[in-house]
Structure 1
Amino acid sequence: MEKLQSLRGMVDLLPEQMPLWQQIEATVRAQFERAALREIRTPLLEVTELFARGIGEATDVVGKEMYTFLDRGERSCTLRPEGTASVVRAALQHGLLSQGAQRLWYTGPMFRYERPQAGRQRQFHQVGIELLGFADTRSDAEAIAIAWDLLMELGVGGLALELNSLGDPADRAAYRTTLVSWLQQHQEQLDADSRERITTNPLRILDSKNTDTQAVLAEAPLLIDSLSEASRERFDAVLRSLDALEIPYQLNPRLVRGLDYYTHTAFEITSSQLGAQATVCGGGRYDGLIEQLGGPPTAAIGWAIGLERLVLLLAQAQAAGTVALAPPTPDVYLVSRGEQAERQALVLSRQLRQAGRSVELDLTRAAFGKQLKRADRSGAPWAVVIGEGEAEQGVVLLKDLRRGGNAAEAVSLEQRLSAEQLMKALSRS
């Protein structure tokens, strides 16, 4: 029988990989709590129209990358390719915006059908924030600062912030007209994908990874030249806030982001440690999205970080010794042998866990020597040993594994304690 395998681009996260993921998730949660953000969780599966209307039908995400199918009710459903549209839909559906501006964060798996590569899979994980109902330019700076500080706390090196302003819809419409005219004059010099985008999504051509196309685009008109005075003043205010926060940035007039809902501030945070796929965090303002999805006109800004890329970065830093990660270890390793002793060990392990201790109970029924060697390898500071003699007397042997040496030696020299005395001894450690 053929061995079953996971689908391409759908990756298992194994126990030895999880400590780094859990460290990232714990840091994320702590940072977001300090920033007064509240968590929201949305379904993996949404109606396709949500992303077609929200992200834009001309985008690569909607046109080429979504996992879309008809369910048994003949409804078109899509596995979410990003988090913002789902969060906005949930906020509208449950009337969150009627309660005032919302400071939200989310995390979870997303799905895009694209070529898997290092740090990018077809099922991938994102963490992101959405500030709904905030128009002040300080909200742009605060959103960026939360991302910057999170990455700094995690130990990500080589960070750089790139910024651009996409203006309001009128600015973009004026720029689109100018850009399309210029692209049509130079279309023979563009790659095939870029030529197709001239009529569907011309701004995405600016983000082309084709080196020949990028060389041609060096002479293309810039979006900043089409910004209204109000849009320029708004962007300048964002930059002044970043200056006040002492967050370094670089202006990138070619930065457009890949989704149609962005307006005004667009940004990416990159790391020089990632090579070609340098973007760690991306986001921006999307003041028209909530209205586009059926809500009232509402200002909003947000960003997302791909966790796979973050894990890749931190794993490299851990291997280089620049980021330290202690593997999780139990507080106590419980060794037992004999029917009565094993029954008592089962009860004691539960009591210790209920008292807040992390306990690994050896379930192998192997000889004491083998079990104690496993206790050594577990990294636990304490081994608790119960044999038939201890079980009959209602006591345990407590061994301090931190003293080194072979734990299997001289067990009889250790402390003989009742269960109550054991609890007190461990509470003092």
Structure 2
Amino acid sequence: MPSSNQKERTLKEKMQRSLPLIIMLLALILVIGVTVVTCVKAIGGTSNKTTTPQQPIEVHPVTETAIIQTTATTTETTKSTTTRATTVAKPKATFALLAETTTTISLPPRTVSSMELSFYQAVMNVGDAPIFPVVFMIPDDALDIRIKMESSDEAVAVITDDNKISPVGEGNCIIHVSAVANPYATADIAIRVEGKTDSVTTPEMSTPSQTTYTTAVELPEDPEEEEPKIEREDIVVINGITYVKGIMLVNKTYPLPETYNPAGMTPETEQAFKELQQAAKDEAGLNLFSHSDFRSYHTQAVVYEGYCARDGQEEADRYSARAGYSEHQTGMVIDVNDPSYSFNGSPEGEWLAENSWRFGFIVRFPEGKEEYTGYEYEAWHIRYVGKDWAKEIYDSGLCLEEFLNVKSQYP
């Protein structure tokens, strides 16, 4: 039987063997305790922090700075701001900016990704005829080029059924243009509508007469001398408007005064175009419509400046008129259907070239006549001159400048 001393030694040996294990357990408990305390403090500190409320963002208009600052916050705020920017304010650069700051949208091939307009601002008067911007889709071979237009204030301007901007009352508004195929492809037009202007009465155009128009020209003895001005009895200027043989003439040489404003198509032009439309439908099954007709002096200034900004003045002068030098201001010009080079040679374009004279119209800028007219071939651009004059000009095979023996050059 073991003695008490032996038992005591055995107990000490067991305690010595167990001591490292006990120390490890104590250390583990200590580590767990410290971790728990740290977590509790962290949770308590977070719950006690005061959340700064998100400041409201002005979205009319939304600026690039506002969008960037907001998208730099939380994910929830980014989603909220994205919705407001695209559905309320819709600035021109919204699509590109959101794509950079949030996510990239993958589009099917030949889908509109963006657009450019012929003008981004316009000044109109109450009573002016509706206007329409030329829309350039990117890519230019997009399959669906339909657009949607919305007015921010219909008390100022409304969108007609054929997507034209019609002034209603004085004030300012934004016309938002978006692609039907891609609502993120957008552009905005700033519209200012001013009070109604006093219209200028258009003298009636004469019909051809049998009178022979003569011009007396004195040739200089020295060929290097400046060519003398030609005095022509058939050229008459009334209130700043030039008439040649009774035909109102507007080109790069003969401008209209800024105040000339018939406030829309002339009644004769409008009636003649209705007859032309019906004939095209009945005879050839073609749907012809006015894409653009009357433009005021100020609207033309905006249109021309937009083209200059895009292509430069030298190129713009080949297809767009400067303010005061545009036939659109006469109220006797219509751009039919699609005012682009794809219209040249189309069934609609060929029908106009062969038949518009029957209704008093001429194709104003025929093919191969740029040296006389000063403008590129535009099959869609027709000018009302009356049935008698239209037939004479058509039968002659000449453009209007050749027929009237006048120039078209900017001073």
Q: In which range does the TM-score fall when normalised by the shorter chain?
A: under 0.3
- What TM-score comes out, normalization by structure 2 length? 0.22
Report 1 or 2 for greater relative contact order, CA contacts < 8 Å, sequence distance ≥ 6: 1
- What TM-score comes out, normalization by structure 1 length? 0.22
Answer 1 or 2: which has greater helix percent.
Answer: 1
Point out the structure with max Rg over C-alpha: 2
